[in-house]
Chain A
Amino acid sequence: MGELFTVNMGPQHPSTHGVLYLELVMDGEIVLSCKPHLGYLHRSIEKIAENRTYTQFIPFTDRLDYLASMNNNLGYCLAVEKLLNIAVPPRAQYLRVIMAELNRVISHLVAIGTFAQDLGAYATPLFYAFRDREKIVELFDEICGGRLTYNYIRIGGLSGDVPAGTEQVIKDFIKYERKQLVEYNELLTYNVIFLARSKKIGILTQETAINYSVTGPMLRASGVKWDIRKEEPYLVYDKFDFDIPTGTAGDAWDRFKLKLDEIEQSLRIIEQAIGAIPEGNPVSKVNRVFRGSGETYMRTENPKGELGFYLVADGGLMPYRCKIRSPSFSNLGALPELVKGLNISDAVCVLGSLDIVMGEIDR
């Protein structure tokens, strides 16, 4: 064994996905131990929640997993609605499903692009993914005026109805994206170098995954069939026919492939939902301020895993406590276990395959 040395990877590094700081103890190119340091993006969002009314806090949820703002809005609004027993109009329920699934698609697209970038396929897959993502981002811009932080899903419904012609845009996108998925397979999934780099790298066994409370695509890639949309259906997910894709080996390649499969499943859900949107007004007439008491926990399936909101209310205008269970935080926990003994190139590959967003790790 040679002389050990420490590499401080991050918080500014091309492939740490934000401001993650990894302290790697290395023997030559082999990673002996890895210690993630957090806190470079801490904004104390949970504390802010205690000083805002229920409605005022919605924009802050945009800044959790900023690649999936719609899903965050949805999770929080569902939690508040559950706490205060607020009914949601049927049209809003369908539109919420469509928005959440569209956002899942574009979040996975970013994950695919950045993972390929980490493997050294410099910029091209990332640009392809962003080209596809742009179509949905522009649609969201039409709908709610935001390209990244949408603040569209509100307590009791939505901030407004979708503009005319949205259905056609989404239908065109589904047709377009199905074609693009083939291209991703040609460019990346079955590329010899790509396979050599990501197969059998960073294997996460079912047991370890469950012990670290890993959720989302990462858990499913390890072969566990677990999806909140099926286990505890919220909104109208129980009305749609879709599969839960699972991996077998739990390696980096499975985690990558699973995202492509999930995009296909999301497109299926959107296709079914778009044909069944009921007429009506998606904006319900509820107050802007609420008083509630009691406590509730609501979890939803975010693109990266289970997003949970634990709300405690004491009868005031603001929640007494808002605990956020963010998927990336738990998923990152498994990283030191996965990269032990790997080459530094493979460590970067594993980190890329986790698909973390620092916004919800450092809340």
Chain B
Amino acid sequence: MMTMVLKGLSALGFIAVSAMFLIWLERKVSAWIQNRLGPMMTGFQGTLQPIADTIKLLLKEDIVPKGVDFLSWWLAPFFVTVPVVMAFLVIPFSSKWIVLDLNVGVLYICSVTSLCVLGIFMAGWGSNNKYSLLGGMRSAAQIISYEVPLLLSVLLVVMQAGTLSMQGIIHAQAHGWFILKPQLALAFLIYFISATAEVNRVPFDIPEAESELVAGYHTEYSGMKFAMFFVAEYTNMFIISAIAATLFLGGWQGPWLPGVVWFLIKAYGLIFVLMWMRWTLPRVRMDQMMSFAWKVLTPIALLNLLVGGWFMLK
């Protein structure tokens, strides 16, 4: 019992530190891409900037706008953050470092992370703001649509590995990463595109589209509630990259270095790709995104599942 609590607390600590690091990294990556320096004033290369930001957000007034649907407005940040924390239960940092290796790990993490949409929708609905409402509606449509190809691509991995346990899938990749198998390479691509849409990153940042909807569903949030959305967003980014690393890139496996280092290198490498995309690409339109999900990605994922399954049977 005691070890479980300790493991849980260390996961919480990791979430906080990781989100802070990612916020710093995003500001630095964007600065490098844009010929700027990024934060430089607080600490070496601005490394203390996230701490200063956290203190600022903690001290800010928590504004309750007029006419909000209080319960859903107040609960929304928790509904967004709690699933993110829950997902850390089954993330395998190394062969030993996992809070609980559930035998239905993949199923669990997929179902838990898709709960986030509830919180986003509650925020959009409860804020009593038209921009928030549009953002919430958009994100509900987007996240539910992209769940389908995402799960179809994950299913193929489960079929290949023959297990739903996260550690089991990593062990199944002992003789070669899944991304190197042709039918699974396509699944990785489908997973990565859908996952980008899942976490509302460019080019699918439609729910918070700054130039259209100001800030989308979290327009009306300030102070710590805003920070919770922020932490959830960045941690979600880590989770989808961690899942991708586990399912397709061999997880913590790798020569010379300890497992946890390999795992973090793979996860943060994928996060860097997400950031790279965000600061390079324009945004797609709502209807373009939906038709891409249903008319392109889902049929390809289904076909991929069929063909991949047939090859596995042979």
Contacts and interface: CB of A to CB of B under 8 A. Distances in A.
Contacts of B203: 120, 193
Question: Lowest 7 CB-CB distances: which A-B pairs, in order?
Answer: A120-B283, A127-B34, A15-B211, A121-B282, A119-B282, A118-B211, A345-B285
Interface of B: 30, 33-36, 130-131, 134, 202-203, 205-206, 209-212, 214, 278-288
A268 B211 CA distance: 34
Nearest to B30: A123
A196 B288 contact: yes
A94 B283 CA distance: 43
A197 B30 CA distance: 23
Nearest to A127: B34
Given A14-B214, A196-B284, 5 more contacts: A15-B211, A121-B282, A123-B34, A187-B280, A193-B284
Contact of B285 (A15, A128, A343): A343
A227 interface: no
Contact of B212 (A121, A123, A345): A345
B127 to A, nearest CB: 14
B280 A345 contact: no
Given A193-B203, A193-B284, A343-B285, A122 B212 contact: no
Interface string A58-82: 0000000000000000000000000
Contacts of B36: 127
B152 to A, nearest CB: 24
A193 B36 CA distance: 25
Contact of A193 (B33, B131, B281, B286): B281
Q: Of B130, B211, B283, B285, which is in contact with the most chain A CB atoms at under 10 Å from its CB? A: B211
Given A15-B211, A123-B34, A116 B282 contact: yes
A224 B295 CA distance: 39
A188 B34 CA distance: 15
Contacts of A118: 211
B209 A197 contact: no
Contacts of A7: 130-131
Nearest to A126: B34
Contacts of B205: 120
Interface string A190-202: 0101101100000
Given A29-B286, A124-B280, A196-B288, A348 B34 contact: no
A174 interface: no
Nearest to B33: A124
Interface string A332-363: 00000000000111101000100000000000
Contacts of B35: 127-128, 131
A6 B27 CA distance: 35
B214 A5 contact: no
Contact of A348 (B30, B130, B212): B212
A116 B202 CA distance: 14
A117 interface: yes
